[in-house]
Amino acid sequence: MEELHWIGLKSIPGIGNVTFRRLLERFESPEAVLSASIAELSNVRGVTPAMREAIRHGSWRSFADAECSRLAASGARIVTFLAADYPKSLFEIPDPPPFLYVRGELRCHETAVAIVGSRRATAYGIQTTSRLAGALAGHGVCVTSGMARGVDTAAHKGALAAGGRTIGVLGCGIDMVYPPENRKLFQEMAEKGCLVSEFPLGTLPLAENFPRRNRIISGLSKGVLVVEAAENSGSLITAQYALEHGRDVYAVPGNISFATSRGSNRLIKQGAKLVDCVEDILEELPGFENLHGGAEQRVPAPRTFSLTPKEAAIYEVLARSPLHIDDIISQTELTAGEVSSMLLHLELKGAVTSLPGTHYCIS
């Protein structure tokens, strides 16, 4: 069972997302990593003696066996970063998860916009969120949010009510319904949209999980819309991630007398685009630029492709910026010959494009 080795390798203390991908770059599969000798593991940057001993002793197996049983019972599956349906936009964030727990249909190339905001939203915030989420869904844009109370819940419900797609990114295990009153929404999301989490099954919704969840919300989306956010709220963390990831940030202006408007109004002061209708968002999205001049012109969907670990290593560095081939070699663990070969494979898949002067970028 492939999932066993992916889950087992990720469960080893100290092996984070970067080290996980570095090991796959060297050994090609989690199973090969977990079968490697101490000497072979010693040649991989960032692998400590404690990690090598954990791999050698097989202490990962009992957790991985139990997790695979829980996974089968939960109705979820894992989607690895090598899979065709893994969202390629996640390669643009600094530490994309090696795999996601998923319920529902994950579409790797759909255009998505995140809507986030206060858990204690006003009636104005809820109504505005529902209206904008429904309008985005009506134009074929997937709505991404975090399944929390308030604005998040209104965003998911608004998209579903309009017959559209929505993705809920969880700050807990995908088998945990949080908040509990959203049980019906969880089921509807699994059937008509998608639920994703990077956390193991059974993980509680602890406060420290939500900033990590927020970077996934941003990573999946072309832009982030903030509807009502208090100062220093989690929604502003998501907006900050969006800026770091090169996403657009939008904000709905709010009543200056309400604490829940201070964060979103401050974002507008700082340069976020003020939104009072869906066209303010759509005109910034690829394929919708000429919306005010007539019907939107949809861009062709990119090709769907899977990746090998070595191809993924190159795709990840190019997802952040175009690079010269020498820079690709220096930023990966690959030889010059391997990089040249992998670039050719990626071009044939339609994943990357060559530029003048032996530079490359993602397609």
Q: Could you tell me if 167 and 193 are in contact, meaning their C-beta atoms sit under 8 angstroms apart?
A: yes
Same domain for 69 and 122:
no
Residue 111 lies in a domain: yes
Residue with token string 């990077």:
198
pLDDT at 94: 86
**Helix, strand, coil percentages for the chain (3-state, nearest 5):** 45, 15, 40
Same domain for 265 and 134:
yes
> Residue 284 is part of a domain; what is its CATH number?
3.40.50.450
Same domain for 344 and 287:
no
361/82 Cα distance (integer angstroms): 19
pLDDT at 21: 93
Same domain for 216 and 159:
yes
Look at residue 294 and tell me whether its pLDDT is greater than 70. no
Residue 118 lies in a domain: yes
- Which residue intervals of the chain are DSSP H helices? 2-11, 17-27, 30-34, 38-42, 49-57, 61-74, 123-138, 151-161, 183-192, 209-219, 234-244, 262-269, 279-282, 309-320, 325-331, 336-349
Same domain for 64 and 139:
no
Mean pLDDT of 144-173: 97
> Residue 36 is part of a domain; what is its CATH number?
1.10.150.20
pLDDT band at 293 (very low <50, low <70, confident <90, very high): very low
Mean pLDDT of 152-179: 97
Residue 170 lies in a domain: yes
DSSP state of 30: H
pLDDT band at 301 (very low <50, low <70, confident <90, very high): low
118/125 Cα distance (integer angstroms): 8
Look at residue 300 and tell me whether its pLDDT is greater than 60. no
76/201 Cα distance (integer angstroms): 10
End-of-domain residue from the set 259, 293, 327? 293
pLDDT at 350: 93
Tally Cβ neighbours within 10 Å of residue 176: 18
Taking only the tens place, the pLDDT of each residue in 308-339 is 999 999 999 999 999 999 999 999 989 999 99
Same domain for 153 and 51:
no
Q: Could you tell me if 174 and 198 are in contact, meaning their C-beta atoms sit under 8 angstroms apart?
A: no
Same domain for 229 and 315:
no
Structure tokens at 22: 């570095």
Question: Is the four-CA dihedral 350, 354, 359, 361 of positive or negative sign?
Answer: negative
Same domain for 224 and 143:
yes
pLDDT at 166: 98
What residues make up the domain containing 176? 104-293
Residue 87 lies in a domain: no
Structure tokens at 171: 């700050």
218/247 Cα distance (integer angstroms): 8
Same domain for 32 and 111:
no
Q: Could you tell me if 209 and 197 are in contact, meaning their C-beta atoms sit under 8 angstroms apart?
A: no
Look at residue 304 and tell me whether its pLDDT is greater than 90. no
pLDDT at 286: 85
> Residue 357 is part of a domain; what is its CATH number?
1.10.10.10
Residue 199 lies in a domain: yes
Look at the chain and report how many structural domains it folds into. Answer: 3
Query: 92-97 long-range CB contacts below 8 Å, 24 or more apart?
Result: 92/219, 92/245, 92/246, 92/319, 92/320, 93/215, 93/216, 93/218, 93/219, 93/241, 93/245, 95/16, 95/17, 95/18, 95/215, 96/17, 96/219, 96/316, 97/17, 97/198, 97/216
Mean pLDDT of 209-228: 95
Q: Could you tell me if 152 and 120 are in contact, meaning their C-beta atoms sit under 8 angstroms apart?
A: no
Structure tokens at 60: 């990962």
Structure tokens at 84: 């065709």
pLDDT band at 295 (very low <50, low <70, confident <90, very high): very low
Same domain for 350 and 237:
no
Look at residue 67 and tell me whether its pLDDT is greater than 70. yes
Mean pLDDT of 74-93: 95
* CB burial readout 39-56, b (16+ within 10 A) else e: eebeebeebeeebbebbe
Closest by CA to 70, choosing from 166, 5, 117, 4, is 4
Closest by CA to 276, choosing from 132, 156, 133, is 132
Mean pLDDT of 170-195: 96
Residue 42 lies in a domain: yes
Phi and psi at 156, nearest 5°, equal -65, -45
Residue 145 lies in a domain: yes
Residue 91 lies in a domain: no
Structure tokens at 100: 């996601």
Residues 6 or more apart whose Cβ sits within 8 Å of residue 233? 118, 263
Residue with token string 């832009």:
223
Taking only the tens place, the pLDDT of each residue in 92-121 is 998 899 999 999 999 988 999 999 999 999
Q: Could you tell me if 8 and 288 are in contact, meaning their C-beta atoms sit under 8 angstroms apart?
A: no
201/207 Cα distance (integer angstroms): 17
Same domain for 200 and 139:
yes
Same domain for 222 and 269:
yes
Structure tokens at 337: 């010959």
Average pLDDT, the chain: 93
